Amino acid sequence: MTSANTDTSVVVIGAGQAGLSVAYYLKRLGLDPGNDFVLLDRGPTTGGAWQFRWEALRIGSAHKINDLPGFDELGVSFETADRHSPARDVVADYYQRYEDHFGFQVVRPADVTAVENYDADLIVTLADGDDVQQVTTETVVNATGTWGAPFIPWYPGLRSFNGRHIHTNDYVSARDFEGQNVVVVGGGTSAIGFLLELENVAAETIWVSRRPIDFLEDGGLNLEARVEAVKLQDEAARAGRALPSIVSGTGVPRTRRIQAGIDRGLLKPRPMFSLIVPEGVRWLDGTFHKADAIIWSTGFRPELRHLSPLKLREKGGGVSVASGVALGDSRVFFAGYGPQASTIGANRAGRMIARQVIATLSKRQASRG
């Protein structure tokens, strides 16, 4: 189906859960990997953002990882995956098998720096070190996720701090904080995981959050709340607004491990501090806490910088997207964006987006006569 005017019909940017899901359905619908569609991935190896996760993270200790479509052909499932090895190794192994089995021929490391207009088509610029290449295509599926765009909120004194600012995507191991006073900021499972890992390593930990933590009594996600959170994500995406936090809408499951931490007094969040000073943090009432490091488990933003030449970003801070299609440019599709940001959401969106890509290519082919 590749047009004579372009190198390929589809460029999929990102080979994490969303990108691989789209690739699976594109192949199912008759496109040839490496010819009709090309997968570009910035990471040095397989696993998407999981390859960069911290050493102590295990399968089952964070949000559920759903299987990719077609996992049954490989005879693997995250439901029965190794719970003792680092999650990053398990996911990388499964994704490598997946890519090999379906012959996706992922190009990596390929850091996409720009997507621009190329007459009626698009041109994608990618870099591998000093080597810069360009690929022309009829359509682009953006599946870059959020890991490359960490968010740290601004607070007075942020730059005056003498200690270390660490974001979730910089965190490697609790050993890096041995004997230190650590402030952990954030209201999700990553912040809780860091506190549990640091408990017997750091000299002292303190947990702060901008909003009260909604611990779910049944130990599982509140499906009604999750539906509402996804609805809010979808509304924001359609309107081109900045995407709201999923965690703030769904709460945190009260697992046995988390409940034990609550019972020990470890997981007792304090309100957000108002000021950062060189030696630590301070609250409005004057309370001071010494800190050697602040871990910002404050989430991420969609990674969209490479799409800026297309001018898709709205005044509200986001991109207007409905059912995976950019409302400002029908050649551009978004996988893993907004309501698709969970693993199960990305998998479901893969089929939908692949079908829409095929429909778009067919229309373009018909218009060319």
- How is residue 180 annotated by DSSP? -
Task: Judge if 81 and 132 occupy the same domain.
Answer: yes
- Residue 164, CA distances (Å) to 156, 181, 197, 201, 276 in order: 16, 11, 18, 17, 12
- Per residue of the chain (369 residues), give pLDDT as tens: 566 678 999 999 999 999 999 999 999 999 999 999 999 999 999 998 889 888 888 887 666 788 999 999 999 999 999 988 989 999 999 999 999 999 999 999 999 999 999 999 999 999 987 789 999 999 999 999 888 889 999 999 999 999 999 999 999 999 999 999 999 999 988 999 999 999 999 999 999 999 888 887 754 444 444 545 555 555 555 555 655 555 555 578 788 888 999 999 999 999 999 999 999 999 999 999 999 999 999 988 888 899 999 999 877 667 888 888 898 999 999 998 765 554 445 567 899 999 999 999 999 988 876
Tell me the pairing of strands 111-118 and 121-128.
antiparallel
The parent domain of residue 21 ranges over 8-148+300-367
AA identity, residue 148? G
Task: Judge if 31 and 125 occupy the same domain.
Answer: yes
Q: H or E element: which one contains 138?
A: strand 131-142
Q: Is 76 left (phi over 0), alpha (psi -120 to 50) or beta?
A: beta
CB 197 within 8 A of CB 297: no
Closest CA to 60 of 199, 202, 219, 175: 219
Task: Judge if 287 and 305 occupy the same domain.
Answer: no
How far apart are the C-alpha atoms of 363 and 369, rounded to whole Å? 10
Task: Judge if 45 and 13 occupy the same domain.
Answer: yes
Angle (nearest 5°) at CA 104 between 49 and 32? 140
Task: Judge if 27 and 125 occupy the same domain.
Answer: yes
State the CATH number of the domain containing residue 287: 3.50.50.60
Residue 3 lies in a domain: no
What pTM was estimated for this model as a whole? 0.83
Residue 293: helix, strand or coil by DSSP? Answer: strand
Task: Judge if 23 and 143 occupy the same domain.
Answer: yes
- Residue 262, CA distances (Å) to 5, 121, 182, 256, 306 in order: 61, 55, 18, 10, 42
